[in-house]
Amino acid sequence: MKKSKDLRIAVTGANGFVAQNTRYLLNNKGVKLYGISRKNFSNYKSESKIISPDISLKEISRKLKNCDALIHLIGTGKLTANSTYKSVNLDLTKKIILLCKKSKIKKIVYISGLGVSKNSISPYFTSKYKAEQEIINSGLDYTILRASYIIGKNDPLVINLKNQIKKGKIIIPGEGNYHLQPIYVNDVAEVIYNSVISKKFSNIILELVGPEKVTFKEFVKLFKGKRKIKIENIDLEHAFHTALKDPNSNYGIEDLNIMIGDFTGNHEKLKQLSGLKFKKFREILQASSLS
Ligand SMILES: NC(=O)c1ccc[n+]([C@@H]2O[C@H](COP(=O)([O-])OP(=O)(O)OC[C@H]3O[C@@H](n4cnc5c(N)ncnc54)[C@H](OP(=O)(O)O)[C@@H]3O)[C@@H](O)[C@H]2O)c1
């Protein structure tokens, strides 16, 4: 096995939440990084910065020769005027697989979503499932991590709840009795590193879930803490209706699908395989003043 300082790792979606935290960890371990993004970003001293708005294969592949692995962190859970789940989650994954082949990179690590399966019907889940299938059938050595909510400073869920707090109330779709299994972004970065260096992570799909399950209702209560903020339950039909009508609603259609999907996973397997000690979400909420 190579030492960290001899490893060369490419990271797509370099500007994103998980990518920033993963690049931080890898850089600290002495890994030589190749960050790939659509737009400018602040890179580490020894990190090669690759800016390519349309992921130009010819241009990027030349720069990635001799990389040991690629961590594919491009993805979206929100529709915009310019992008669909298919165009970002599936089509760009196909392109990244071609990039790996062209650059002779043998290992790919991908973050999919908890609850993704061949029976998925929603556009987000379907795009993630099809992206998984492309990776599995690519011939590359792969680790697919199906993530629950990844939490840390400025994660999408924390930003959403903070924005609602600013407006004076937090909305809970339905009763809020569905579960999440939050995992700390620093732990996610460690798992990604392990996926690159350990053969135990070769050609597997793993659930990327934290040590504790919590209902959304309880999570919101803990997040709110002692603040005098109103918590309002709205019925699910109303929540879906608002999500369909208003692109700026607190919860998009896919947020709601994920929530009511009530997806939880096997943390013990992840713990055993990685040998890591994972943070509990309560410790994260308290220690890093996320809320
Ligand atoms: N955060 C979670 O709780 C969670 C849970 C389950 C799965 N995941 C998956 O984990 C991966 C990373 O998530 P994240 O939370 O770090 O997301 P994020 O902060 O939104 O970052 C995703 C990155 O993907 C790239 N991207 C988005 N739309 C794009 C487009 N139209 N064209 C090209 N690149 C585009 C962007 O990279 P640049 O700005 O650098 O170009 C963006 O920063 C995603 O695949 C996501 O689906 C995350």
Mean pLDDT by 10 residues, the chain (291 residues): 90 97 98 97 97 93 94 90 90 98 97 95 95 98 98 91 94 97 98 98 98 97 92 96 91 94 97 97 79 64
Ligand 1 center to residue 74 CA distance, Å?
A: 4
Q: Which residues pair with 107 in a beta bridge?
A: 69, 141
Say if ligand 1 is within 6 A of residue 210 CB: no
In the prediction, which pLDDT does 3 show? 86
Say if ligand 1 is within 6 A of residue 131 CB: no
Question: Between β-strands 179-180 and 214-215, what pairing exists: parallel, antiparallel or unpaired?
Answer: antiparallel
In the prediction, which pLDDT does 291 show? 64
Ligand 1 center to residue 92 CA distance, Å?
A: 12
Nearest atom in ligand 1 to 83's CA = 31
Ligand 1 center to residue 148 CA distance, Å?
A: 14
In the prediction, which pLDDT does 78 show? 80
> Residue 149 CA to chain centroid, in angstroms?
8
In the prediction, which pLDDT does 247 show? 84
Q: Under CATH, which number does the domain 4-287 receive? A: 3.40.50.720
Ligand 1 center to residue 286 CA distance, Å?
A: 26
Q: Which of 7, 86, 72 is nearest to 37 (CA)?
A: 72
Rounded to whole angstroms, the Cα distance separating 156 from 166 reads 15
In the prediction, which pLDDT does 82 show? 79
In the prediction, which pLDDT does 289 show? 61
Rounded to whole angstroms, the Cα distance separating 266 from 50 reads 36
